[in-house]
Structure 1
């Protein structure tokens, strides 16, 4: 096992910024009101399972259809770039449908809110640069944080307030933008 604290922390921060569980607190609070209840443990476990599964199966799927990891990482960097723009500019480029049925914990919270296109693409992008055990550790840490945030989303929303949530989204948006540019530059070189 080759655990590296720096890699785990970097991968954790990238995933944390992409998942944006703090910025999604207003959405989570709204879903909680409509559904009546969110099963925090179920949502966190399912999102973690989806992310770790995709970490292993995603690369094989890419090879099956003839795409290398660096190409996917460049595509992922572009997606991260647009997610960062959403966070910084307060616009919505990616829209998902709300579902207020009993499955709210799974859809839309576990997928696509937490384990969505951004986080799945990010995992494969990270795989091009970091060792797999460090990425898994980062996913597990994020799942624990996601569980904590889901469990106490109403209290966190009340404490931070709308202005605080907006400020956090902007800060993580800038961080994510810088990471997207770094991932793009590192992987574009490998394509040529």
Structure 2
């Protein structure tokens, strides 16, 4: 895995936040038989991958049509990642609560969209399609990151038992801190280009 591919996969994993979504998945599938859960998770992850890939390839055309400049995209991407990071470091109190329980099996909503292929993930691949000249790298990154995300969600019960609630929260906050530094760097880069600061 080359450097750009590794970096792209890492960014997508931070945005997809599989560990942070584990409490949501456990709550959402609480009333679903244990034997059906892996099939549901794999189906929803596959749907999310398709949505992300579609946005990856049509994103450039959308942004060109809207006449958005590269500095504006970089600053917007930094702001988006910064807001995501804030939610990871300071998660909402009702995340993963019992209000997410469903009587039947989830289909597309809310597991595939917006939990996996949510606004943050879609915005990330949308910006990537505009900024990166190597679409195959980002396509591979989407597939690899989505596969890792699926594995984490399939092992959600094991992760919950291994780390406990406090451990899961600590891991998510650590990923949020890393994502914060990446977001700030994107903002600095975008501002430098926009104002020709060198």
Whether the TM-score (by the shorter chain) exceeds 0.5 is yes
Structure 1 gap ranges (5+): none
1:52 CA drift (Å): 1.2
Q: How does 1:82-161 map to 2 (within 5 A)?
A: 82-91=83-92, 98=100, 100=102, 102=104, 104-127=106-129, 128-129=131-132, 131-161=134-164
Task: Using structure 1 for the length normalisation, give the TM-score.
Answer: 0.85
Q: How does 1:27-42 map to 2 (within 5 A)?
A: 27-36=24-33, 37-38=36-37, 39-42=40-43
SS in 2 for 1:24: helix
1:165 — aligned with what?
168
Q: How does 1:19-30 map to 2 (within 5 A)?
A: 19-30=16-27
1:190 CA drift (Å): 3.3
* Greater mean deviation of Cα atoms: 28-37 or 72-81: 28-37
SS in 2 for 1:161: helix
1:89 CA drift (Å): 2.3
Shift in CA distance, 99/163, structure 1 to aligned 2, threshold 3 Å: closer
Distance 2:112 2:49 in 1: 8
Structure 2 gap ranges (5+): none
Shift in CA distance, 112/73, structure 1 to aligned 2, threshold 3 Å: farther
1:6 CA drift (Å): 0.6
Shift in CA distance, 60/40, structure 1 to aligned 2, threshold 3 Å: same
Find runs of 4+ consecutive structure 1 residues off by over 6 angstroms.
none
Residue correspondences, number: 186
- Tell me the C-alpha RMSD between the 2 structures: 2.3
1:151 CA drift (Å): 1.8
Work out whether residues 31 and 100 of structure 1, in 8 Å CA contact, stay in contact via their aligned partners in 2: yes
Task: Using structure 2 for the length normalisation, give the TM-score.
Answer: 0.83
1:80 CA drift (Å): 0.9
1:110 CA drift (Å): 1.1
Work out whether residues 76 and 125 of structure 1, in 8 Å CA contact, stay in contact via their aligned partners in 2: yes
SS in 1 for 2:20: coil
